[in-house]
Amino acid sequence: MNLDWNIKRALLSVSDKTGIVELANSLIENGCEIISTGGTKRKLEEAGITVTDISKVTGNPEAFGGRMKTISFQIESALLFDREKDKQEANSLNIDEIDLVVCNLYPFKKVLESGGNFEELIENIDIGGPTMLRAAAKNFKYVTVITNPSDYDELQKQMKENDGKISYDYRKQMMVKAFNHTADYDSLIAQTMDKEIGQSSLRLSFKEGYDLRYGENSHQQAKFYKEQDSNGGLFGLKFLHGKALSFNNILDINGAIESISSCDKVACAVVKHSNPCGLAEGFDQKQVLELAWAGDPISAFGSIIAFNTKLELETVKFFNLDHENRAERKFIEVVIAPEISEEALDYLKTHKNLRVLEFDHSKLKNFKDIRYLNGSLLVQDKDLKLFDKIDLPTKTKIDLEQDQKLIEFGLKSIQNIKSNSISIVRKKDNSLQLLGMGAGQPNRLIASKMAIEKCKENLAKEYKGDDFPAYQKEELANCILISDAFFPFPDNVVLAAKHGITKIIQPGGSIKDQTVIDACDQNDIAMAFTGIRHFKH
């Protein structure tokens, strides 16, 4: 069986006319007859290309303002008949085969996004185009179907290199693209029409899936997909070195990138099990890494580390990957930055399994959180708003001019920590640091205890003098405790006061707000209400 077929007749009918003249000229050079319609026909004729009008094939004129052009027994038969089994019947019916369809449908999406009214949307629902595409795709054994101008170059290359023939494998690839194209097209129309009658629906399309190393656990299989028509987002990770990624790696990478993506200055996040156990922002990349790591050196073992600026050699030397004493080498799973210098990359390659990735965090354009739950789907807006207000209800006031940046840094940290959560942040050496956090707890008091104990532990590690109690008191007094949700009782305030914390940020909104305010006043604690909760589940 001959798997490669020449293109002798082509039907070109496109809304996006990018590259169509160049493609048509290539087809003419290969002795191909070109059939066309409407605006495409005019475009080609203006370029001096001889075109067969579609009406000469169908035997009927274009009608009803262009609603009827290609739909006909002649066109669909020319695309669909089996070139071997049905050849004799096609001859008896005077059906001449069409070997190529180039069509990308009426611009329904473009009209929708530009604010077109209902009547305009209806007129931009293509009927003949999808019919041709599906017919050509079904008969890809003999027919080539093209839906995107980005595929014109490969089509021309195949004709040039194969004496006008198109390979079976290429036709099969284009068949898949065509069915995806019509599926996405109809999906958007269906969602739009649902909305028109007040009915919500959501149809998602993902492609180019590839296998991950494994899922959350080694016995689970996992894949990673790219959203159709997106800029790639996280799928655009550039893999430079190391083992294949797992399901957990992807989740933690996403958490790490989100943790640093909204930071104003040089930032570093150390993420473990989706939580930033270390986070710092400042001016010096190496110092910022050291502060982020110091937030929880134990949890940093096997972590994902993300940077928001070009990663340099001096910074990554902190990991001691080439230290002769293996115990001094810091074990991490992934390092990711928008750009990595050649010297830094060479050094990171010292660890053969360490995954090294480049990703520009500005590509994270997702404004929705979507979760699939056992035959159902949850959709929400992403948590992008830090606060509604900064109310100061206590007698002791937070100095907003002095602490505004630290408050914002703390709120950014709490946005990415699993609830119930508490983060405690401070200024350190001209940088901002997450000194301690409590994550994913069933009650806020436990989260506060965890965050405070982590702070005390970290302060003890960094202090080199002989009066640690005084140092701890001074440092905690300058920290700010951030809560992701309101305090339902004053117990968190009492705990904070017991350990010398003097500043608290929380959303407010509890029926016991006044009781909590009274507890702050009794303990000389300054508290601010933001009006915005930051639960993360």
Q: How far apart are CA 533 and CA 367, in angstroms?
A: 18
Q: Is 218 exposed, middle or buried (0-12, 13-18, 19+ CB in 10 A)?
A: exposed
Strand partners, 371: 378
Tokens representing 114 are 């530009």
Instruction: Return the SS3 of 281.
Output: strand
Is 351 catalytic? The answer is: no
What tokens appear for 482 in the block?
Answer: 């951030």
How many angstroms separate the CA atoms of 25 and 12, rounded?
Answer: 12
Q: Counting beta carbons within 10 angstroms of the beta carbon of residue 198, is it exposed (0 to 12), middle (13 to 18) or buried (19 or more)?
A: exposed
Q: To 10 degrees, what angle do helices 20-29 and 152-161 make? A: 10
Please state, in angstroms and as integers, the Cα–Cα distance from residue 82 to each residue in 18, 79, 96, 139, 524, following that order: 32, 9, 12, 7, 86
- On the question of a cis peptide bond just before residue 254, with omega within 30 degrees of 0, the verdict is no
Q: In angstroms, rounded to a whole number, what is the distance separating the alpha carbons of residues 446 and 389?
A: 27
The tokens describing 406, both together, are 């630290």
End-to-end CA distance of the chain: 57
| Beta strands at 100-103 and 275-282: parallel, antiparallel or unpaired | unpaired
Tokens of residue 172, six digits: 């099969």
| Distance between CA atoms of residues 230 and 405, nearest Å | 33
Query: Which three-class secondary structure state does DSSP give residue 444?
Result: helix
Rounded CA-CA distance 294/463 in Å is 12
> Which residues, including other chains, have CB under 8 Å from residue 373's CB and lie 6 or more apart?
none
- C-alpha of 82 from chain center: 43
Task: Give the single-character DSSP code of 425.
Answer: E
Lookup: tokens for 333: 């799973």
Tell me how crowded residue 235 is: count the other CB atoms within 10 A of its CB. Answer: 18
Catalytic residue among 8, 17, 138, 330: 138
Residue 243 falls in the annotated catalytic set: no
Helix 152-161 / helix 168-196 crossing angle, nearest 10 deg: 160
- Given a contact cutoff of 8 angstroms between Cβ atoms, the answer to whether 52 and 24 are in contact is no
From the list 17, 109, 165, 273, the catalytic residue is 273
Active site residues: 138, 273
